[in-house]
């Protein structure tokens, strides 16, 4: 009987040990310095983000130190906009990004040039750029 | 003397000999037979079940308690396997961090990719 009890308790302990893995919600205060630096723009909204989204952003934070300062700045400027999108919108954006990257490089550059010109014109005319919020 | 015995005659001889054995020897033979049968059953089990039985996770006895216990243990193991697989799927299969970083640090603004 003691063997039965030992096995049962062993499995229960294993289950208890797995619980923290299943529930990964983390408060802003519990994040380490590197994570806080990477996720800075989300500091005020972090605690209200769904667990799944927190997990995604924590995965992004792991890559943050490897980015150039310019890319880190870009990431920070767009992070809040990205966090406000619905999961469907983010999935659609990923699909579009993948599709756009399959377009020949010359055409991609042409599109990027066109967008830059459009932004410059809007800035010159004093109109707020349509995608300023995402920058 | 050189008469060749057939299977039936061998069987009859063995039965007659067994009838002449004393109680103690018969008990020992019975016990040896049971042990041999137990080993045979273990060998016939699937490798996983044999391993679980060997390590005391599930039990070979067929009392109602052991049956319920075995069922519970199997259910728990299945729950762990399914839970683990789901957790892995959620954590790793849907890890979009690489593509998310690429979008967030791209030359084009995020709005270009958002409907």
pLDDT at A134: 45
Q: Does A5 touch chain B (CB under 8 A)?
A: no
Domain boundaries, chain B: 1-44, 47-115
Q: What are phi and psi of B52, to 5 degrees?
A: -65, -40
pLDDT at A12: 64
Nearest to B109, CA basis, from A67, A13, A68, A128: A128
Q: How far are the Cα atoms of A80, B75, B77 from residue A37, in angstroms, in the given order?
A: 14, 44, 41
The per-residue pLDDT for range B12-25, each reduced to its tens digit, is 888 887 778 888 88
- The DSSP output letter for B60 is -
Chain B residue numbers with beta carbons less than 8 Å from the beta carbon of A55 are 91
A52/B56 Cβ within 8 A: no
pLDDT at A133: 42
The per-residue pLDDT for range B51-81, each reduced to its tens digit, is 777 777 766 666 777 778 778 888 888 888 8
How far apart, in Å, do the first and last CA atoms of chain A sit? 65
Name the pTM for this structure. 0.53
Continuous segment of H or E residues that includes residue B85 = helix B64-88
Residue in A17, A70, A93, A114 to test binding to B, most B beta-carbons within 10 Å: A93
Q: Does A14 touch chain B (CB under 8 A)?
A: yes
Token readout for B107 is 């030359």
Chain B: closest CA distance from residue A29 (Å): 22
Q: What is the spatial distance between Cα A101 and Cα A119, in angstroms, rounded to a whole number?
A: 21
A110 three-class SS:
helix
With 90 as the cut, is the pLDDT of residue A77 above it? yes
Q: What is the spatial distance between Cα B114 and Cα A89, in angstroms, rounded to a whole number?
A: 6
């Amino acid at each position: 009987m003691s063997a039965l009890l030992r096995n049962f308790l062993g499995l229960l302990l294993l289950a208890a040990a797995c619980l923290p893995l299943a529930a990964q919600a983390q408060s802003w205060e519990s994040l380490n310095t590197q994570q806080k630096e990477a996720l800075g723009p989300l500091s005020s909204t972090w605690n209200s983000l769904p667990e799944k989204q927190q997990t995604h952003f924590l995965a992004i934070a792991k890559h943050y130190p490897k980015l150039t300062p310019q890319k880190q700045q870009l990431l920070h400027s767009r992070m809040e906009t990205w966090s406000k999108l619905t999961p469907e919108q983010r999935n659609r954006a990923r699909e579009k990004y993948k599709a756009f990257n399959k377009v020949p490089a010359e055409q991609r550059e042409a599109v990027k040039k066109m967008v830059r010109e459009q932004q410059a014109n809007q800035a010159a005319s004093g109109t707020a750029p349509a995608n300023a919020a995402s920058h | 003397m050189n008469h060749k015995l057939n299977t039936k005659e061998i069987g009859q001889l063995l039965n007659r000999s067994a009838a002449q054995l004393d109680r103690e020897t018969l008990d020992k033979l019975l016990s040896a037979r049971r042990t041999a049968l137990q080993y045979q059953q273990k060998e016939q089990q699937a490798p996983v079940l044999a391993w679980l039985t060997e390590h005391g996770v599930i039990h070979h006895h067929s009392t109602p308690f052991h049956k319920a216990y075995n069922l519970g243990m199997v259910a728990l193991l299945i729950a762990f396997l399914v839970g683990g697989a789901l957790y892995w799927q959620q954590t790793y299969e849907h890890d979009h961090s690489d593509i998310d970083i690429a979008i967030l640090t791209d030359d084009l603004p995020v709005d270009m990719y958002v409907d």
